[in-house]
Amino acid sequence: MGIREQMIDMGRRAKEAARKLSAASGVAKQQALLNLADLLESRSGDIFEANRRDLEAADSAGLDKAKTQRLTITEKVLASMVQGCRDVAAMSDPIGEIESMAKRPNGMLVGRMRVPLGVVAMIYESRPNATIDAGILCLKAGNATILRGGKEAFHSNAALAGLMHEAMESAGLPRDAVQVPPTTDREAVAEMLKLDEYIDVVIPRGGEGLIRAVTQQASMPVLKHYKGVCHIFADDSCDVERALPIIENAKMQYPSGCNALECLLVHRDVAPELLPRVAERIGPKGVGFRACPEALPLLGEYAQAATDEDWGFEFLDLILAVRVVADMDEAMDFIARYGSNHTESILTESHERAMRFIREVDASLVVANATTRFNDGAQLGLGAEIGISTSKLHAYGPMGIKELTSAKFVLLGDWQIRE
């Protein structure tokens, strides 16, 4: 069987499994998720061994630092997968919920019922933990899923998918509701993106190049974000002592994350106090600054002059662009021009300014007085996420269970006819 035939067969089986899964009980789905959590713990040795094979191959291939970091399954990452399974299992099942039922003048009852999307395909780089996140969220939302990870994580993804199959079958759910293509050939992706007859939506997760390529080729809707160019604006009223750990966390906790801080905007009146302290705090820890002319002398030896290309750039590294602005209006204008609709934050003691920033800045998450790193499904109470959408149709922000469903209209009549 050739790759095209393989993918068509996979799509057909996913469509059949999606129909069965949409009718599955919430109890069965919950049991599958709890079984998976137990398997992840009891088979951790197998998972780490599969991941070790991928990391050795990545090292030989010269995979860059950011991708290698995302590829690595640590004890902490595995524990997060296990907790994600249990958190999602504990959440209410949205499928079949009827929302906003209203009575029409002729006595009919009209409402909307929450339903699965159908078959969700996910294409992603590194991040084997995304295999679990996507699989468990799609399962809870009643969707079948096809998971096409990068070749660098092939062994890790295969091991995790095998555990998902065991967990689902033990709960009486169809094995084909979670599928991983058995090949790393890129032709498989090209063929999969033609299968709009079977696949209802595709979610790419990775670098901007991958996401643009998927968007251009896909014959079905795409939920996407191209990049995460996240800003923090330090207002003139911000508390410098409390601002410093937030800036450090946003930049340094996970610099290759799409919700990491890439550009710090600082009000001119607080810049002389704040910026030297920022440089003193994170410069010796490896952060380099790309600074505007006004910020440059305040950041000392760790800074160099910014170029036009540094604004709106996703570094995914220990590099931070810094710009001094005259006021909040200039900061918001800058974000409107260079932001990527991902995550934007303001540090301020003014409730009025915080609320204005939240209201007027366009991003999937707008934050007041906290790190940008909170734009994450688990952190926002979704249990896990399948990705972060920076387009507004059909979801905006982290995509959890509800974002992986739609709603159909339902009408309960009493033998009415249309006049």
In angstroms, the Cα distances linking 371 to 17, 143, 229, 246 are 40, 32, 14, 5
Mean pLDDT, residues 299-326 = 97
Q: What is the C-alpha separation between 382 and 24, in angstroms, rounded?
A: 21
CATH of the domain at 238: 3.40.309.10
Q: What percentage of the chain has pLDDT greater than the value 70?
A: 100
209 and 295 part of one domain: no
63 CB contacts (<8 Å, ≥6 apart)?
Answer: 71, 152
* pLDDT at site 69: 87
Q: What percentage of the chain has pLDDT greater than the value 90?
A: 90
210 and 235 part of one domain: no
Helix (H, G, I), strand (E, B) or coil at 143: coil
* pLDDT at site 256: 87
* pLDDT at site 322: 98
**Which residues span the domain enclosing 218?**
3-223
Of 374, 182, 98, the closest CA to residue 261 belongs to 374
* pLDDT at site 6: 95
290 and 314 part of one domain: yes
Beta bridge partners of 367: 345
In angstroms, the Cα distances linking 114 to 142, 258, 335, 347 are 10, 30, 35, 38
278 and 192 part of one domain: no
* pLDDT at site 357: 98
* pLDDT at site 224: 86
Decide if 401 is inside a domain.
no
Decide if 189 is inside a domain.
yes
DSSP letters spanning 48-112: HHHHHHHHHHHHHHT--HHHHHHH---HHHHHHHHHHHHHHHHSPP-TT-EEEEEE-TTS-EEEE
165 and 291 part of one domain: no
Q: What is the C-alpha separation between 115 and 24, in angstroms, rounded?
A: 12
105-133: pLDDT as tens digits? 999 999 999 999 999 999 998 889 999 99
Decide if 325 is inside a domain.
yes
Q: Pick from 353, 374, 395: which residue ends a domain?
A: 374
**Full-model pTM:** 0.88
- Whether 91 contacts 140, CB under 8 Å: yes
Decide if 171 is inside a domain.
yes
Beta bridge partners of 144: 119
331 and 292 part of one domain: yes
249 and 166 part of one domain: no
215 CB contacts (<8 Å, ≥6 apart)?
Answer: 204, 222, 224
234 and 358 part of one domain: yes
CATH of the domain at 103: 3.40.605.10
Decide if 130 is inside a domain.
yes
Decide if 197 is inside a domain.
yes
Q: Pick from 191, 223, 255: which residue ends a domain?
A: 223
Q: Pick from 195, 223, 251: which residue ends a domain?
A: 223
Decide if 107 is inside a domain.
yes
115 and 246 part of one domain: no
Q: What is the C-alpha separation between 160 and 145, in angstroms, rounded?
A: 14
343 and 197 part of one domain: no
Decide if 388 is inside a domain.
no
Q: What is the C-alpha separation between 205 and 124, in angstroms, rounded?
A: 5
Q: What is the C-alpha separation between 85 and 136, in angstroms, rounded?
A: 7
Q: Check residue 242 and report its DSSP letter.
A: H
- Whether 1 contacts 104, CB under 8 Å: no
- Whether 265 contacts 325, CB under 8 Å: yes
242 and 341 part of one domain: yes
The number of distinct structural domains making up the chain is 2
32-85: pLDDT as tens digits? 999 999 999 999 999 999 999 999 999 999 998 878 988 999 999 999 999 999
Residues 95/98/100/101 CA torsion (nearest 10 deg): 170
181-226: pLDDT as tens digits? 999 899 999 999 999 999 999 999 888 888 999 999 999 999 988 8
31 and 176 part of one domain: yes
